[in-house]
Structure 1
Amino acid sequence: MDHIRALNSLRGLAAMVVVIAHYERSINAFGGFSGRGSGQIGVMIFFVLSGFLMSYLYLQENFNKTQLYKYFVARLARVAPLFIIVVVVSYFFQITNIKGVFYNISSLEEVASHVLLLSGKSVLWTIPPEIHFYILFVFLWCVYSKSPKLMLVIIAAAFVFLNYLDYPVYKWRTELGLLIDFRLPKLLSYFLLGVLIGAIYNSWHTSEKIKSNYYAVILVIIPLLYPKVFTAVFGFTHEMWKDLIVLFGLGMWFVSILFLIPARNFILSNKLGDFLGKISYSLYLLHLPTRKLLQEHAVNAPVFFFVIYILSSIMIAYLSYLIIENPLRKAIRKKLKIN
């Protein structure tokens, strides 16, 4: 499959939306510009991207044991190592009374809930659903291999059914003390949206004649979807994950980027976007400890410490990518013998 360079920038953008939102919210910086929940727009972008990539990379591959093995190893190597390390380090910090830096994972039951992908503290909550998406995608891949049209029908039916259910979240604690926080019905529409766009992209490409760099103006949809901005502009409040306006807006945003903007658009295809996309996973998982360390001082000088926060978060993410994330991903792929 050809590499779509703009996706690097979209990954980086999604991570930065979350990073900036958490800083702004923690000290009410910049007048609370984006409003509570703006970071979740970044998570939505991640989920749409994830669905698109699964669809784009795998639906054209044969559905067999060899491809399934490669698929699961690649997904495991991509997500699991850094996630598990962050969970274990967070637990170690808690039991050694170094609190307020990493995530509040203070018991073995909480460690197990994370590692078993049952729930997640703070930003870690997104990782279990991401893995659940990967598992669900195998079913869609299997269906697509037999009937592409049937897969599209199933996705359409899922959109309707999830809306009918009103996107519920199910929480309960097991007898062993493990917290189960099952959010798949609430989040699934965004992953399915990505899968749907990927399936279309695999079979239909836009003529270069109708593409234009001017369509990059569509990028303004993201800040428009920030809750506080949306309310100020349109006069009513959207319901985030439950609102079809948000789902449709992100869908149009993503489709426009893929089908209407030239591949060499300088806003979406550049070295900074490549770099931020490369470190986006580490940036997402590791920015909150940086914010916590700076938060006390940032109240009095929010702009100065915002710059420090962004640069520090990027530097730590880059080191994590170089030392932990990328080497472990390569080692797992090599050990389990996939290219």
Structure 2
Amino acid sequence: MDIHALHRQGITISEIARRTGHDRKTIRSYLRGDREPGVRKPAVPDAFGPFTDYVTARLIEDPHLWAVTLLDELRPLGFEGSYQSLTRQIRDRSLRPACQACAHVTKRPNAVIDHPPGEETQFDWLELPDAPEQWAYPTKRAFLLVGSLAHSGVWRAAIAPSMDLPHLLAAMTTVLSLLGGLTRVWRFDRMRTVLDPATGDLTAMFSAFAKHHGVQAVACRPRSGNRKGVVEKNNHTAAQRWWRTLPDEITAEQAQTSLEQFAARQDGRRRESPTGTTTAAQMRAQERLRPLPPMAFPVVVTEHR
């Protein structure tokens, strides 16, 4: 304001520069309108600028999309920044729409549970909505059985078109072979295919399946499903980082292969252990899993195609 006021009085640029304490080139820039007060031109090019429109569109489409999922998508597009750089840009530019429903959600209390090596494998179903019709006919629903080693957090999963008992046993056989062995205990929530709701006992076929593998099956107490927090967290990761980015024009076999590759990449994530920071793969080497039975458990699986 002072610069423009002095210029209107007919004072020269050199005199304005002496009175305001600025360089003459700066005075000329303000008078020509090349610069605005309080707005600085960045010293280096904006590395995030080319990705702003893409990130904005993805967050408008899904306000709950994880930033780490966005990072997975931006890497092939040429983004070289870190996860912290991405979250800072999203925060500084206010790219994520506000969600009123999430603003009032409080965290439920939880506790850290010690899981000795080779002690427990946790299983849980994850529903996959809007699955491709060519491999989820006719309901367009598919399901993911996730199995997690409680000590290391290493997980594997199998896609199934149904959550009935035969598909549960077939999916468990696949997951156990991917994990590479057996722990002493299998933990589930109170699903009807595992636990008879009338008696509270294991169903006959699932009891035979557990006996065939020499494993003790344990169901969580009522309203205590979060006791199996390791597999629930891995469910969240599979839903947010794998399922949300899976192409629609993919077959069930290709989806299973993509899922196994994604789960294997998760073995390199950092984990905290009593000896310090390590990785899930290094903790997996301490599990001391027992080998699988030489013969598979017989089960008849029926599917509509």
TM-score computed with the length of structure 2 as normaliser: 0.23
Higher-Rg member (1/2): 2
Normalized per residue, which structure has more strand? 2
Normalized per residue, which structure has more helix? 1
Structure with more contact order per residue of length (Cα contacts < 8 Å, sep ≥ 6): 1
TM-score computed with the length of structure 1 as normaliser: 0.21
